[in-house]
């Protein structure tokens, strides 16, 4: 029942704010369960929208466990495999929590898992930042169509899509509201070029 | 951004802010265990230096190497230029080597501009005669922003900051580039020098001018001392170094006239005891060593934005959007 769901016309809301909240809470619990109370866990969001998601997960885990869980961000722009295909773009922030990632269990957090290329780039970036004990992946939406042998450990919502569709995650911190929208990509290809600015 | 960086005037305010923001992120690479990014792997940067330089050449070399570019250092001593090879023939040689960027320093103003017409890669001006030195201006703006950014505009500019540039304006490419860039970023720039060391065209520059350093200091947020370029002076521009130093040198007593928060800058190399006293150069208010470190970050940003993508970066102007494009798996910004 999402007739009043937010978002521009032509978009179908797949998740609303309450759904996103529940998904984040569930993922937080799953991480706690599998890491025995987030022992040695560092949450690293991939800019742009992975960063607020990582912060929400950390906050949720702190409430449950009663102690802070370190969260930060890792920018992957310089490690992308498609840099040469488009003009150089602005960088996102890389903020490691104090203590770094050496010997920790890093949970990468992103909004949408699609081709897997962003995650591959993030793994390369981590490699230059230290040597984590293990790396896990948490995503709000897994929309399929992987191009690399990568899978998520924690998924908010599996969303079967066609490659013609566009999945758009909106978060209050970056977009003023929480929603996941699905729409058809306009004929003639993408109308927007990616832009990232901290 | 343009394909080349020849003049600070080539940069829009948004371009400059994009470079500074990028440099902010890249500066943190220096704190990491592995001070290297793979971004320019397989790209070749040629350092073409027709004039002596230590810090600028090393700075560009470090910047290119931290981005994993291949660096070829071409200094005129020991090259065919001493045998009389022309700039154009040198350019064609570089072209044949497949240089993706040429960082050029030349004693003749306009040499980088000419070079840009002959090579396919990007040309970055690392100082041409008395004309311009845009990356120096960028690193100065970066340094100022790091110290005084909280006193200026919200968008990361230098709005409202009062910057006094002192000394040999006539021979200074640093002064010209700084006036152009800093004023574009919103700073109020004042040049202070003896009348003989102002260029004729200074009245057309976007800055104020003055002859009295002591009057300018109390209202300056930044004072930037320029080197007295003795090697370019074949006439007497002032009676003696001692007199110059008395009127236009920054010593401890003059530094005390500055507001509490003000910083002292110098592009280097310094003539200690002439334009700047040793006690000032070594004081905690001096950003001189920091400027060198910032130079690497800013030059990394310039090289990345010129060479990192398919073409030069486009600065954000509102026409772009954060959204991904669904039909291309690899290009969606947020589509992992």
> Quick check: B232 pLDDT over 90?
no
ipTM of the complex: 0.85
Q: Residue B64 pLDDT > 70, yes or no?
A: yes
Q: Does B163 fall in a domain?
A: yes
Domain identity same for B147 and B176: yes
Q: How far is CA A133 from CA A136, B57, B207, in A?
A: 10, 40, 56
* B8: region left, alpha or beta (phi > 0 left; psi from -120 to 50 alpha): alpha
The string of pLDDT tens digits covering residues B263-272 is 999 998 999 9
- Are residues B90 and B50 part of one domain? yes
Residues of chain A with Cβ-Cβ distance to B336 below 8 Å are 46, 110, 112-119, 122, 139
CB contact under 8 A, A196 and B333: yes
Distance CA(A34)–CA(A110), nearest Å, equals 19
Q: CA A95, CA B14: separation in Å to the nearest integer?
A: 24
pLDDT of residue B31: 86
Average pLDDT, chain A: 90
3-state percent helix, strand, coil for chain B, nearest multiple of 5: 40, 15, 45
Q: Return the top range by mean pLDDT from B148-152, B235-239, B312-316.
A: B148-152
DSSP B149: G
- Please list, in sequence order, all residues whose beta carbon lies within 8 angstroms of the beta carbon of residue A196, skipping any fewer than 6 positions away: A47, A48, A77, A89, A90, A91, A92, B322, B333
- Does B253 map to a domain? yes
The Cα-based distances of B1 to A66, A195, B121, B307 in angstroms read 49, 15, 14, 11
How many residues does the structure list for chain A?
Answer: 198
B237 in a structural domain: yes
Residues B167 and B247 in one domain: yes
* Range B281-285 average pLDDT: 96
Q: What share of chain A in percent tops pLDDT 70? A: 89
Residues B176 and B283 in one domain: yes
Domain contains B319: no
Considering CB atoms only, which of B38, B316, B321 is closest to A79?
B38
Chain B nearest C-alpha distance from A54 (Å): 14
Q: How many domains does chain B have?
A: 2
**Statement to judge: residues B187 and B101 lie in one domain:** no
> Residue A167's beta-bridge partner residues?
A182
- Domains, chain A, in order of start with CATH, read 16-82+93-184 (3.40.50.2020)
pLDDT for B285-295, tens place per residue?
Answer: 999 999 999 99
**Mean pLDDT of the A96-111 span:** 96
* DSSP track, B212-271: -HHHHGGG-SEEEEPP--GGG--S-SSS-HHHHHHHH-B-HHHHTTS-TT-EEE--S---
Three-state DSSP at B129 gives coil
CA dist., res. A168 & res. A156, Å (int): 14
Q: Which of B312, B326, B328, B330 to mutate to test the interface with A (most CBs of A within 10 A)?
A: B326
Residues B189 and B295 in one domain: no
Share of chain A above pLDDT 90, in %: 81
The CATH number of whichever domain residue B244 belongs to comes to 3.40.50.1370
Domain membership flag for residue B333: no
| Domain membership flag for residue B334 | no
Contact A79 B307 (CB under 8 A): no
Question: Cα B151–B154–B156 angle (5° rounding)?
Answer: 85
Residues B111 and B163 in one domain: no
- The residue-averaged pLDDT of B11-16 equals 96
Chain B touched by A173 (CB under 8 Å): no
Query: Is residue B73 a part of any domain in this protein?
Result: yes
pLDDT digits (tens, 9 = 90+) for B179-201: 999 999 999 999 999 999 999 99
Return the percentage of chain B with pLDDT > 70, whole number: 92
Q: How confident is the model at residue A195 (pLDDT cuts 50, 70, 90)?
A: very low
What is the span of the domain harbouring residue B268?
Answer: 134-287
One domain for residues B35 and B168 = no
């Amino acid at each position: 029942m999402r007739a009043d769901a937010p978002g521009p016309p032509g978009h179908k809301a797949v998740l609303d704010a309450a759904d996103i909240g529940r998904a984040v809470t569930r993922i937080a619990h799953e991480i706690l369960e599998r890491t025995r109370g987030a022992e040695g866990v560092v949450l690293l969001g991939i800019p742009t929208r992975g960063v607020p998601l990582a912060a929400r997960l950390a906050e949720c885990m702190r409430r449950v466990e009663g102690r802070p869980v370190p969260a930060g961000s890792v920018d992957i722009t310089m490690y992308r495999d498609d840099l040469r295909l488009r003009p150089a773009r602005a960088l996102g922030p890389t903020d490691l929590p104090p203590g770094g990632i050496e010997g920790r269990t890093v949970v990468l957090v992103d909004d949408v898992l699609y081709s897997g290329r962003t995650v591959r780039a993030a793994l390369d970036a981590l490699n230059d930042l230290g040597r984590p004990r293990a790396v896990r992946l948490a995503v709000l939406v897994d929309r399929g169509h992987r191009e690399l042998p990568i899978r998520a450990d924690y998924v908010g919502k599996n969303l079967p899509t066609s490659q013609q569709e566009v999945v758009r995650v909106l978060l209050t911190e970056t977009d003023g509201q929480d929603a996941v929208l699905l729409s058809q990509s306009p004929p003639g290809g993408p109308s927007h070029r990616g832009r990232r600015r901290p | 951004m343009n394909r080349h960086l020849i003049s600070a005037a080539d940069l829009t305010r948004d371009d400059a802010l994009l470079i500074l923001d990028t440099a902010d992120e890249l500066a943190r690479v220096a704190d990491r265990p592995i001070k290297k990014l793979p971004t320019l792997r397989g790209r070749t940067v040629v350092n073409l230096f027709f004039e002596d330089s230590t810090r600028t050449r090393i700075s560009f070399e470090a910047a290119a190497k931290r981005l994993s570019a291949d660096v070829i250092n071409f200094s005129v001593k020991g090259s065919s230029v001493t045998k009389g090879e022309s700039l154009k023939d040198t350019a064609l040689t570089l072209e044949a080597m497949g240089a993706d960027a040429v960082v050029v320093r030349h004693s003749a103003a306009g040499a980088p501009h000419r070079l840009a017409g002959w090579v396919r890669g990007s040309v970055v001006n690392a100082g041409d005669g008395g004309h311009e030195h845009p990356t120096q201006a960028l690193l100065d703006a970066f340094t100022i922003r790091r110290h005084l950014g909280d006193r200026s505009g919200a968008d990361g500019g230098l709005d409202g900051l009062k910057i006094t540039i002192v000394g040999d304006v006539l021979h200074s490419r640093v002064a010209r580039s700084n006036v152009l860039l800093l004023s574009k970023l919103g700073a109020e720039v004042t040049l202070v020098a003896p009348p003989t060391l102002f260029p004729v065209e200074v009245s057309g520059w976007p800055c104020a001018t003055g002859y009295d350093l002591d009057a300018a200091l109390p209202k300056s947020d930044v004072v930037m001392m320029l080197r007295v370029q003795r090697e370019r002076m074949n006439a007497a521009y002032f009676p003696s170094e001692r007199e110059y130093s008395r009127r236009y040198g920054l010593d401890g007593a003059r530094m005390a006239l500055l507001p509490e928060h003000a910083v002292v800058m110098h592009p280097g190399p310094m003539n200690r005891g002439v334009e700047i006293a040793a006690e000032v150069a070594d004081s905690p208010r001096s950003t001189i060593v920091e400027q060198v470190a910032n130079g690497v970050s800013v030059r990394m940003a310039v090289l990345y934005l010129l060479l990192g993508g398919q073409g030069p970066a486009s600065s954000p102007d509102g026409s772009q959007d954060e959204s991904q494009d669904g039909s291309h798996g690899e290009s969606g910004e947020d589509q992992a």
